[in-house]
Amino acid sequence: MNNKTTRTLSAAALALALGSALSIAALPAQAAGDMEKCFGVAMKGHNDCAAGAGTTCAGTAKVDNQADAWKLVPKGTCEKTSSSTSPSGFGQMAAYKAKS
Amino acid sequence: MNMQDAFSAVLLDPDTPYPQGISCHNGDIERRFAVYRNNVHSGLINALATSYPVVWQLVGDVFFQAMARAFIQEFPPKSPVMSTYGVQFADFVEGFASASSVPYLADVARLELLCVQAFHAADACAVDPHLLIHALNNPDSLGQLCLQLHPGVASLHSTYAIAALWTAHQHQGQIHGIDPYQLQSAVVLRNGLRVEVFAVGCGCAAFVDGLKEGRALELAACQALEADPDFDLGQALALLISHDAITGLNPTAEVSP
């Protein structure tokens, strides 16, 4: 037997799979509108934007949980995400001064 | 050998004396050159540690630094762009005798390279869901449909539990209870700027490979079923659709008014 595939899938089977995929995918999608900017929770190099003067975009945070770097997180979860640099112990909605 | 080649050869090999014909205005040239050489090496080691954080955690700082130093001597950077430095690292790790007691290390490095490449891949928007629904309404041509994937999408087969090992070394991960000696395939997806790794069956990874190579839906699905009779096409498509990984359909279906 050569290595050319001999199996086939019916149009109905493909349609069923795509249909179920679309219905699963439609459920948990996190729309951008449901996100909030969260300061102090990004791992270094993985901030979405803003990491201080001169470095204004993604992936520039120098340390983990940098106080002036933010990350988009699902709405309502920012102030519940722990941050080692934050005086409150959790992420904040605005840039803050890191505790020493 | 011109002076620049001689300089860079000496720079990479810590056992050679400083290059002839250079001088400095602030002190002992031998010491100043040693400081410069050390900075170059640490910068490259840091670049590798940033690209391969799980490998770094698996073997620890001392071992990683020694392994990275050996790599740097064999594969000095060819480009100033550090995000592309170290593409040969996984192959190097595989052949690095001292790392042979950690046989899964090379595949973890391969997975981390895919993550770095996904992070820096070009942006692409998810396909309009109406086009998918339209395709669904024309089941007879569904088999010939080609799905274009986001340029960051990648898959990897391994004889080790690479996705579980990777996940265990992320923020809240737990390494306890993971058996690295389990076959596992992984799919790497980037959604927005977030790179995610999913443990999948080898059928799903084969399906992603097929789509990336431009195979039509039916052929890619059949090959996935040959790789793994338990392959679930619906689940694989749901994973890709829900992470905005399908960016186009070809032949592009026209949305009827």
Q: Which residue has the higher pLDDT, B87 or B1?
A: B87
Whether pLDDT at A8 is above 50: yes
Q: Which residues of B touch A24 (CB under 8 A)?
A: 234-235, 238, 242
Say whether both B53 and B150 belong to one domain.
no
Q: Scan for tokens 């046989």, then name that residue.
A: B103
Q: Which residue has the higher pLDDT, A55 or B48?
A: B48
In the listed set B72, B102, B132, which residue is the last one of a domain according to the structure?
A: B102
Say whether both B172 and B247 belong to one domain.
yes
Q: Is A57 on the interface with B (CB under 8 A)?
A: no
Say whether both B129 and B204 belong to one domain.
yes
Output the pTM of the full model.
0.76
Closest CA to B253 of B126, B131, B107, B153: B131
A27: exposed, middle or buried (Cβ count in 10 Å: 0-12, 13-18, 19+) = exposed
- Owning domain of residue B136: 123-257
> Which of B139, B236, B238 lies at the smallest CB-CB distance from A15?
B139
Position B25 confidence tier, pLDDT thresholds 50, 70, 90: confident
Residues B184-201 have pLDDT tens digits of 999 999 988 889 999 999
Say whether both B143 and B215 belong to one domain.
yes
Say whether both B127 and B239 belong to one domain.
yes
Residue A20 to residue B238, Cβ atoms within 8 A: yes
In the listed set B69, B102, B135, which residue is the last one of a domain according to the structure?
A: B102
Highest mean pLDDT among A65-69, B92-96, B172-176: B92-96
Q: Is B229 on the interface with A (CB under 8 A)?
A: no
Chain B: give the shortest CA distance to residue A92, in Å.
18
Say whether both B147 and B212 belong to one domain.
yes
Distance from C-alpha of B170 to C-alpha of B254, rounded to nearest angstrom = 42
Residue A58 to residue B132, Cβ atoms within 8 A: no
ipTM over 0.90 threshold: no
Q: Which residues of B touch A58 (CB under 8 A)?
A: 193
Residues A29-85 have pLDDT tens digits of 445 556 677 777 776 666 665 555 444 455 566 667 777 777 767 666 777 777 778
Residues B206-245 have pLDDT tens digits of 999 999 999 999 999 999 999 999 999 999 999 999 999 9
